[in-house]
Amino acid sequence: MLRSIFAATAIMTLAVTPATAAPCRDGKGKFVKCADAAPAQPVKCKDAKGKFAKCGTPGAKPIK
């Protein structure tokens, strides 16, 4: 019984591996170049009153 459980686990592992081997595909399933890194998020700033303000204005601080 234990041997059959190990055999089934091994077969399942081999069956799942090809599906996760190629993560860089487009919506149609064709291979595309993988992105190197995620694009940087734009920085947003708020003023002393807590309202959104243009970064660089006096008193504006970046939010996280």
pLDDT tens across 22-53, in order? 588 888 989 998 877 777 888 999 999 999 99
Average pLDDT, the chain: 80
Instruction: Write down the H helix ranges in 1-64.
Output: 2-21
pTM here? 0.37
Closest residue by Cα to residue 55 from 39, 40, 42, 44: 44
52, 59 in Cβ contact below 8 A?
no
Share of the chain above pLDDT 70, in %: 78
Taking 60 as the threshold, does the pLDDT of residue 20 lie above it?
no
pLDDT attached to residue 14? 61
62, 43 in Cβ contact below 8 A?
yes
57, 64 in Cβ contact below 8 A?
no
